[in-house]
């Protein structure tokens, strides 16, 4: 059984591997492996596959076989999601928010969770439980980098991965904050390039994102 402290320590290591974690919504498991290979080759080894499609669990299974990649499951909402993600090979989890039931399930399943928080109160509640690494979501809708900076002033113990509306243009605003470890973004794997199978273009987008400074 993993503790919140251990989960945060493991996720901090992952968050420090690259400045951007690709947030992936994939409809077709057949593209999973070449997509993961392109992102990893471009310098983004940590991949979040959101459980928003019927193919998501198969995508996690395929991507988990890519050398150099660390694949996690996003949009965890229920204990069933947690078990399915673990069975598919997810090495970490991400949630848009946090409930005691979800936190209990992740801890029991030994799945390091990056739990979502949108307010100071939510961040404090997670910190009270022992989660010092959290997801700030939805980042842009909640005031963006200025809001996250403001939350960090009275709660410096918590480090964040902002996700939701993060782009190549505004990512540096987040990455420049002292309480940000990395950011999550979907722009590195746009649907049109995935559909066309333009893995070279995706690799270039990943390489551009991997060079963002923190």
- Confidence class of residue 102 from pLDDT cuts 50, 70 and 90? very high
What letter would DSSP give residue 80? Answer: H
How confident is the prediction for the chain on average, in pLDDT?
Answer: 98
- Catalytic residue of the set 48, 62, 107, 203: 48
pLDDT tens-place string over residues 146-156: 999 999 999 99
Q: What is the side-by-side strand order in the sheet with 133-136?
A: 116-117, 133-136, 159-162
> Is the model's pLDDT at 38 over the cut of 90?
yes
**Pair 85, 61: CB distance under 8 Å:** no
pTM metric for this prediction: 0.97
Is there a catalytic annotation at residue 200? no
pLDDT mean over 112-134 = 98
Q: Which residues of 94-131 are buried (b: 16+ CB within 10 A; e: fewer)?
A: bbbebeeebbebbbebebbbbbbbbebebbbebbeeeb
Is there a catalytic annotation at residue 48? yes
* Sequence-separated (6 or more) residues with CB below 8 Å from residue 157: 127, 132
What is the structure's pLDDT at 214? 83
What is the structure's pLDDT at 141? 98
- When computed from its CA atoms, the radius of gyration of the chain, rounded to whole angstroms, is 16
Please state, in angstroms and rounded to a whole number, the distance separating the CA atoms of residues 75 and 97: 9
What is the structure's pLDDT at 172? 98
pLDDT tens-place string over residues 46-91: 999 999 999 999 999 999 999 999 999 999 999 999 999 999 999 9
What is the structure's pLDDT at 92? 98
- Catalytic residue of the set 10, 62, 107, 135: 135
> Is the model's pLDDT at 117 over the cut of 90?
yes
């Amino acid at each position: 059984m993993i503790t919140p402290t251990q989960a945060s320590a493991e996720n901090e290591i992952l968050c420090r591997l690259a400045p951007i974690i690709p947030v992936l919504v994939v409809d077709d498991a057949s593209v999973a492996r070449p997509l993961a290979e392109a992102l990893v080759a471009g310098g983004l080894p940590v991949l979040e596959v959101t459980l928003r499609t019927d193919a998501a669990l198969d995508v996690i299974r395929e991507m988990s076989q890519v050398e150099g990649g660390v694949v996690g499951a996003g949009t965890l909402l229920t204990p069933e999601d947690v078990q399915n993600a673990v069975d598919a090979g997810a090495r970490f989890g991400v949630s848009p928010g946090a409930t005691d039931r979800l936190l209990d399930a992740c801890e029991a399943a030994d799945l390091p969770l990056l739990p979502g928080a949108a307010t100071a109160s939510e961040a404090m509640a997670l910190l009270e439980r022992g989660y010092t690494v959290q997801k700030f979501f939805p980042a842009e809708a909640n005031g963006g980098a200025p809001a996250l900076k403001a939350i960090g002033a009275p709660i410096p113990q918590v480090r964040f991965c902002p996700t939701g509306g993060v782009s190549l243009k505004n990512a540096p605003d987040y990455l420049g904050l002292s309480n940000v470890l990395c950011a999550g973004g979907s722009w590195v794997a746009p649907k049109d390039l995935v559909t066309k199978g333009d893995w070279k273009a995706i690799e270039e987008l990943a390489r551009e994102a991997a060079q963002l400074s923190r």
